[in-house]
Amino acid sequence: RTGDRPHVILLPSAGMGHLVPFSRLAVALSSGHGCDVSVVAVLPTVSAAESRHLQGLLDASPAVRRLDLHLAPFDESEFPGADPFFLRFEAMRRSAPLLGPLLADTGASALVTDIALASVVIPVAKEIHLPCYVLFTASAAMLSFCAYFPTYLDTNAGRVVGDVDIPGVYRIPKASIPQALHDPNHLFTRQFVANGQDLAKADGVLVNTFDALELEAVTALRQGSVAAGFPPVFSVGPLVTVNLPAGEAAKESGNDYMYWLDAQPAQSVVYVSFGSRKAISRDQVRELAIGLEASGQPFLWVVKSTVVDRDDSAELSELLGEGFLERVQGQGFVTKAWVEQEEVLKHESIGLFISHCGWNSVTEAAASGVPVLAWPRFGDQRVNAGVVARGGLGVWVERWSWEGEEDVVSGEEIAEKVKAVMADETVRKKAASVGEAAVKEFADGGTSYRSLTEFVRRCRD
C-alpha cells in the first residue's frame, strides 16, 4: 500500500469469462481510481487464451502486480468427465486455506474474490481481518438468482420444480435455469448453492452490469427484496478496456480480420462467436455456414471446435464442409484463431452480433451499441439472453437455444432471421440507445463510475 492508495487484491477463477472482467477491473482501479492492484494467478492457466490475456494485462499495466497461488494437490479423478474449468474452480476452492499466508503480509486494504470461490474465500479473509468483496462476473439477474436459489431449494425439497420467481425481480423460466442446477448433486450445484448462501457474509458485491440495463434486479438486490440483509451492491459495468486504440492493437499483432473489416460497408457485417468455452456441434456448424452464406451479408465468424483451446486441431475446411471457404471468399472471414472481440465490436462495419450470450460478450455488445441476435446454449446464457431481449439490446429466438446437441437449426431459418434483424431499424436504434447509456454510466460521473468510487472509498477507510 503506497501512501493513501488502497491496495486491492483481485482473485479471479478460471476461464476467460472470469479473467476478462477481473483484468478490466484491475485497470479501472489502478488507472482511474488510484488503487494499487495485485492479481492472484494460478499457473498454468486452463486455456492458452487465459495465459495470453494475463500476460497482456501485466505487460500493459506495470502497476498491476501478480501474486502466485500454488494449488494443493487435487485428485481430479473424483469427478470423472467434469468440465475442466469447473475442476479448476474446485481445485482453487480446496486450496483456499493457502490464501491466508499468501495475503497476510501484503498490507492489502481489501480482497475481491470471484463468485465461484466466494464461500470458501470469505472465511479465510475474515480470519486475517481483510475486508472481502465479491465480483459477480455475470448479470445482475443471475446474481439475484444466485442469492435467492438456496431459499428456493429450501422451500422445494432441494430441487428445481418449475419456474423460479425471484422476489422483486422477475420469473426465470425453468428452461433458462442452468442445466447443472437441476441436479442437486452436481459439482457446480454444490459450489453455486454454497456461494449463494454466503454472499450475505461479503462486505459487498460488485456486479459487471449497469443500472440502465438491469435496474429491476439491481434495485431489488439493494432493497433486500431478493435476500434479507444482502450486502451493498456496486454495479460497476460494463467494464471495458480503458483507452483501447480503435483496432490498432489487433492490427499491430498482424490480425488480418481488422483490415478485412475496414473494407466492409458501415453496419453491414454479421459477427458470429459462441464464446471461448464450448464448441457447437458439427451439424450445427454446417447449417450456420449455409445460413450465413445465404443471408448475403458479409460475416466474420470465430469457429471453435473444442472445449479447451489448447486441444483444437480440427481443420476449418473439414468443419465447414467441402468448398465453403472458397465459395464465401470475399463475403466472409472465418477464423479459428482468437480475435480481439472488444475491438471487433467497436468497428463501425459491425451490424449484428450472433452471440452465445456469455455475459462478457453481452456487456461488450452493450458498450458498443451493437444489436445481438441471442443464441444462448448453456449455463447462465439463457438468463443473459433474457436480459438482452428485455433490455432492448437485441432479439432472442428462444426455440433455437439448446443445451443438448440434438436440435439443429436449419441454414434457411438462420438466413431468414439474419436478414430480418439486419433490416429492422427499431432493433438497431434500441441497441444504439443501450450503447449510449452504457458509455455514459461507465464514464466519469456516471452511475457505474460512482459505484466504483464508493467501493474504493470503503477500501480506503
Residues that bind ligand BUP in the complex, under the rule CB under 6 A: 15-17, 20, 273, 275-277, 302, 338-342, 358-361, 364, 379
Torsion of the alpha carbons at 375, 377, 378 and 384, rounded to the nearest 10: 0
Closer by beta carbon to ligand BUP, 16 or else 91:
16
Minimal distance in Å, beta carbon 1 to ligand BUP?
30
Minimal distance in Å, beta carbon 339 to ligand BUP?
4
How many angstroms separate the CA atoms of 459 and 461, rounded?
6
**Phi, psi (degrees; rounded to nearest 5) at 120:** -95, -20
CB atoms within 10 A of CB 93: 20
How far does CA 116 lie from the centroid of its chain? 13
For CA atoms 373, 378, 382, 387, give the dihedral sign. Answer: negative
The DSSP call for residue 81 is: T
Question: 18, 53, 347, 356: which one is catalytic?
Answer: 18
Query: Helix and strand tally (H, E) in the chain?
Result: 19, 15
- Residue 163 designated active-site: no
Minimal distance in Å, beta carbon 391 to ligand BUP?
16
Minimal distance in Å, beta carbon 277 to ligand BUP?
4
At 349, list the grid cell: 462495419
Closer by beta carbon to ligand BUP, 36 or else 364:
364
End-to-end CA distance of the chain: 13
Angle, vertex CA 50, rays to CA 46 and CA 52, nearest 5: 125
Contact 354, 322 (CB under 8 A): no
- Residue 114 designated active-site: yes
Question: 33, 36, 53, 114: which one is catalytic?
Answer: 114
Q: Please identify every residue annotated as catalytic.
A: 18, 114
